[in-house]
Structures are given as C-alpha cells and as structure tokens.
Amino acid sequence: MKSPSFALLFLCLATAPISVVKADSPAPSPAGTQSSDAAPATADAEITRRADALLARMTLEEKIGQLTQIGPSPRSPEVKSEDLVRQGGAGSMLWTLDTGLMRRLQEIAVKESRLGIPMLFGFDVIHGYKNVFPVPIAMASSWDPALVERSQAIAAKEAAASGINWTFGPMLDIARDARWGRMVEGAGEDPYLGEVMARAQVRGFQGPQLGTPGRVLASAKHFVGYGASEGGRDYDSCYVPGILLHNLYLRPFRAAIDAGVGNVMSAYMCLNDVPAGGNAWLLRDVLRGELGFRGFVVSDSYTTPALVAHGLARDEADAAAKALNAGVNVDMGSETYLRNAANLVRSGRVPVAVLDSLVHEVLETKLRLGLFERPYIDPMDKDRVLGDPAHRAATRVAAQRSMVLLRNEGGILPLKKSLKSLAVIGPLADSAEDVKGPWTAEWSQGVSVLEGLRAKLPHTKITAVTGGDTQRKYPLAWDARAGKPAPTLMTETQMRAEEAQAVKAARKADAVVLVLGERASMSGEDASSSELALGGNQQRLLEAVVATGKPVVLVLMNGRPLNITWAASHVSAILEAWYPGVEGGNAIADILLGDVNPGGKLPVTWPRSAGQCPIYYNHNLTQSRDDDPTFTSRYATDSDSSPLYPFGHGLSYTRFTFSNLTVAPVPDQASGSLEISVDVSSVGPVAGDEVIQIYTHQRAGSVVRPARELKAFRRETFAAGETRTLRFAIPLAELRYWNPQTRTWILEPGTFDLWVGGDSKATLHAEFTVTGS
C-alpha cells in the first residue's frame, strides 16, 4: 500500500520544566534481519568459513553428535558420557551443576575427540544462579528494563563462572490465564511489555553480542503459543489464529531475535493441531523466514519422542525424521537423534543437506560464543564471583522495585517502627526456601519475611505463628517419577489448632502481618490450577485474623494472581511480593516499614475468580445497546465482570496526577514519531516512583482493534511535590498491526484515541488522526 501521510490533531501546551523521555518502542523488523549488536559482515563470513571447514571434515556420526544433548548419565546404561563425548557423540549436556564434571567433559571434547569441538552446558538459569533474584513475573512488575538487564547479567556471570554457558531462558510466552502455572516465568499478558523485557533479558544474558566474556547463550522459549494452553492446563493444545499469533504471541520472540538471541526452544504442545516440535511451517517459514532467526533450535525436554504420543509420528524413528526435517537442531535429553538419525540419513528420509544445515547452525553458534578460543572456565573464579556481595545486594534492590502495593486503605502502610508488638502469621511467613520461588540453581540461604521483620524491628516483640498450611495436591511430575510422594498437608485438627494460636497472637499484637500465597512448588511448570483460591486453610485463617479487628497487612507470595476478592474489601493493606528472591524477607520489611516506597505495577490483569480467566485488558470492544452504552460482553448473573485490579495497577506511599497532555504534529511521514508531552506531579508527602503508561486505540479499520494497547512507558522517580513534563517519542510503526486479510503489517488511516496515566484505566485523553495520502 502507499505510504500514508499523517495529520495529528490535538491541543494543549506544557508549562513545567521539560524532561525528555524516549519511548522504548521498536517496530517489527524486516524478515531476514537480526540485531544491530550482531557481529559485522566480515566476522560473519569468517564464522561461516570456519563452520564450513569443520562440517566438511565431520563423519555422519559426528554430525549427529552435535545435534544430541545428553544428561549427566546417558540413557543407555552401557554407555558412559565420557566415552560418548570422546567419540564426538554428544555436543551438549544439561541437568548438571557439577563444575568438575563439566570441566572434565570439556577437556575430553577439546583434547580427546577427533575434531576438538567444545561442548555446550545448559541449565535453567531463570532468575539468578546462586544469588536468586525475583521470579520473572516479579521482574516484569518493576517495569524497569535496565534493572532486568543488570539482574540477568549477574545471573549470567555466576552461571558462566560455574561452567554453564547456555541458559534455557528467557521464557517469552504471553500469559492471559492465571490458571497456567508457568505465568510465573514470563512477563505477563502484554506484547509490548513482553518485547521490552525480552530485549532486556537477552542483553543481560548474552551481552551486546554472542561471545561477550562472562555471559551465556540465551534461549528464547517456548516457540510459540504455549501460554495459550486450553483451560490453563500445562502442555495442553493451543489454538491461535494468525492475527493473535502475529500481534500477540510472536512479538516478544521477534524482539529477542532483533536483540541477537542465539537459541530458540520449541514448545511442548500442539499449535493448531501440529506439535510445535515437529512443525516445519512454524520453525522454518515463520521463525527462520519471517522473523529472520539465525541461531539454532533446541527441542524442549523429551519433546521429540513425544511426537509419537501426540499422534504426529508413528514411532521414534518417524519422530526423529519429522523433528529434523521441521528444523529442530538439537534433541534435548531423549537421545532420539542419537539412536535414529544415521539410518534416517542413509535411507534418504532426512536429506544430507537438511542434516548439514542443522549442524552448521550449531557450529556457527559455538564459534560466535568463542568456545573454540575459550572452552574452559577458571576454577578459581567460581567462589569469587558467586560470593560477590554486590550480587546479593542487587537481589534486594530488584525485590524492592518488583513489589506491587495493591491496596492501602487509610494509609495503614508504612507501619510505624515504634510498634510495641507485631504478630507475623502464615504458612509462608518463616519460609526461607519458598521466598526464592521455583527454578533455582545453586543452593543459597534465603531470608524469610519473619527474619526480615525481626532484623528491621529489634525492639518490637514479634510473635510468629504458622496458622495452618498449604501444599500442592499432587507431586511434581519429576518427583513422582523419582518415587517422591506429594507433600503432606497438615491435618484438619492441626490446622484448627494453628488458627486458634494465630487468632490469639493477633489479639495481643498492635498489628498483624499475614503472609499467604503458594509454596514455590505450586507455581511453575507442572503447576496449573483449576482454581485460584488460597490453598489449605489460608482463606479461613485470613478471615479469622481480620475478625480480631487488629490492623492487618496481607503480604502475598505467589507466581500468579490468586482469588483475594474477599481480602480486597476486608483487609486494609495488600502487598504483592511475588517470590522475591534470596533477599525477599529484607526487601518486604524495607517496604512495610517505609524505608522503600513501592513502585511496581501489575504486568497482568487480576481476576476476581478463576471463572474470569482468561482475562486481559487489551480485549476487543463488542456489541452494545443504544439504551445502555455500558452494556457489553459480561457475566450477568453472579459476578462483577471487571477485574479486581487492572493491568498496570500499583499504588505508592505518595500520589501522582497527570495533566496537560499534548500530541504534536509529525514532521517526517516516512520515519516520524508520535511526539507526546504530559505533566506528572507528585502530590504526596514523600518521594516515589510512578510508571507513566501510554495507551492507544484505533477507532475503526479493516478489522477490529483492541480497546486499548500499551505503546510506551517509563518508570520515573519524583521528589515530594515535584511536577515535571515528560516527553515521549513513539515510532509511528508502533501503530501498525498484522492484518489477516492482507497478511501483512499495515498502518491504516483513521482516528485514534490516546490515554496517559498510571494504569490501563487511565483517563487523561487525547485523540489524533492519521490521514492517508
């Protein structure tokens, strides 16, 4: 279509001092391109030449070895991992943190295998290595990409010093359904926020380009649509139309690829009835073609043989053929390629050219990482790096900036440090393990909420009571395979006794901090939930403690929204702490006692109950009635259809107002930006952070567009009483969308609404018009 010209209509002039803010707003990149941080063309040519030379010398078995990832012990008991590596039969390993084993196997690969090709060692370094940071959904709640990048850089440095050179992260799955356990691993429901966090994590893990010393290879997962699993059930099928695939689920992956991510992990599930791990259209046409990905693809754990269970493949050999031909370079853990690929190539079911291309991509990545020049770690580095006190301190800052104050009626928070007595109640209150959340690597000592409060209030009498229990109903799948039973929940008699003790402690205290939520094992992979209720006896405990009439602060530790609808109208203060990491207890105490002013914002819409799921702010507008313009899609017989808390919500110990919104004309039609200015004022008594959020809506076009879409944001710190004018420059390409009729990205002429505020319900409004040429 022709390049449109643009007329932007609105008025208002700013009068306060101006601070210029550039929105982090990338446009979709052309197919076949990747990050500007990638190596220059001359380096690319040299990498290609070296990979060509290696490939020309490899036997069929050595090629297959580069596509095989093994665990510490090969699945065939008669085969030792050392021998397999020596023969060139394994190019990578996972499921080990044994630095000595990794060093020994790397020496065998480099010094004793015929071609000396170094190995990759992968592990799920999701939110820290030894010094555990808040979980990814918490980090997204910071709305601070610079913080996220610094945090993942520390995680990468620690992992690299320990022998890990490949992390299976970041997880980039958009999640709109809180029942899905893996919501905890991502950045929430919004594609723009997901893009920003994807770039930050890739840059944190990998540095400005692959091969940056002290960084690791990142893996963008799970490609793609995994977060759309039916009913929020982990591993279940996903049905995603093209308009959602391109405008929602692919966008964080595109951003990661543009940032130079070197690896992509295919997803477990079926996407539109084709398993992602055997989907040639997805992995070749979309990933490598449309998105221009240049690295290699790894399956998720055992997903290659699972093609048989899905019904895509007849047997294991057929599964290997379909995965290889679809473009899955590396088989994770199952050794399916190792057992079947040679016969498939010899029989012609997998062409030699296909195999060579897959191997070449793996070799190129290893070369870009600098593994041939730097295959080993310095064993003296590990203790020094992991013990760096600056790393531990950084986890506390990250936790402080990630927490979301959901409610603070009557200004109950911050608590006064002059409290004579405090009751700290809840099954998670004194858990130094659960505070770290799921997906932790090397063990480290966490700080519980109770410990943090005792350190902060040395002269306050603090009484601690568990008050009951919460546990998952079934054991984790990998625990069940190892014969471990499900955790044992307290008996009803025990829980009633604990509740009585909790009520007694609450009545004697000046205030109560109630710590509820989910244990770390109740969130993450294999942790989907049909309900979002507070587990065990926690709801009953909550109501009993509130009934004492004492001031109650509810602290939530969890990886997804839970049903706190009762609490939202009966508890004065609610702090969403997520799983805040090793320094979580101290960070929570910092906020509860006012040493830190909370500034986090929700990266998801918070439902009133599981029955509202999936729920998200960027839904379409639907039918209304002339006699009732508020009539739209809704629950009409038993529930308020609005969310409990909107996307982007988060309070502070101060207040902010927005005014004087201005949208300026666009000077350059071809590469112009939407120039926006707005006054933001801190009208409370203390300094604090606000996240300025900008949303737009295209009123009419060739397809229906969402009611609101996040287009820019920035977290800013304001002094008490300060007013500042902020300017945003949003590339016009951000207004484009993938049109299912033209199957292209388009920007249509028409009228747009624009809102600026502190959450997705922002009311400060302007409009502008895009006119076609």
315 is catalytic: no
Give every strand in the sheet of 404-408, ordered side by side.
404-408, 573-576, 552-557, 511-517, 421-425, 461-465
Cα distance between residue 282 and residue 290, in whole Å: 10
- Which pair of structure tokens corresponds to residue 738? 């993938």
DSSP H helices, 219-301, are 242-244, 251-258, 280
- Which pair of structure tokens corresponds to residue 49? 């030449």
Q: Kindly report the number of other CB atoms within 10 A of residue 308's CB atom.
A: 17
Q: Bridge-partner residues for 761, per DSSP?
A: none
Q: One-letter amino acid identity for 587? A: A
- Which pair of structure tokens corresponds to residue 568? 């939202």
Cα distance between residue 266 and residue 278, in whole Å: 9
- Alpha carbon distances (Å) from 270 to 191, 524, 723: 21, 20, 51
Residue 225's SS3 state is: coil
* Pairing, β 656-664 against β 573-576: unpaired
Phi-psi region of 166 (alpha: psi -120 to 50; beta: other; left: phi over 0): beta
Of 144, 173, 300, 469, the catalytic one is 300
Residue 222's SS3 state is: strand
Cα distance between residue 375 and residue 85, in whole Å: 15
Residue 102's SS3 state is: helix
- Please calculate the CA angle 403-566-550 and round it to the nearest 5 degrees: 80
- Please calculate the CA angle 54-60-64 and round it to the nearest 5 degrees: 85
Cα distance between residue 87 and residue 114, in whole Å: 7
Cα distance between residue 403 and residue 54, in whole Å: 50
Cα distance between residue 602 and residue 578, in whole Å: 11
Active-site residues: which are they? 300
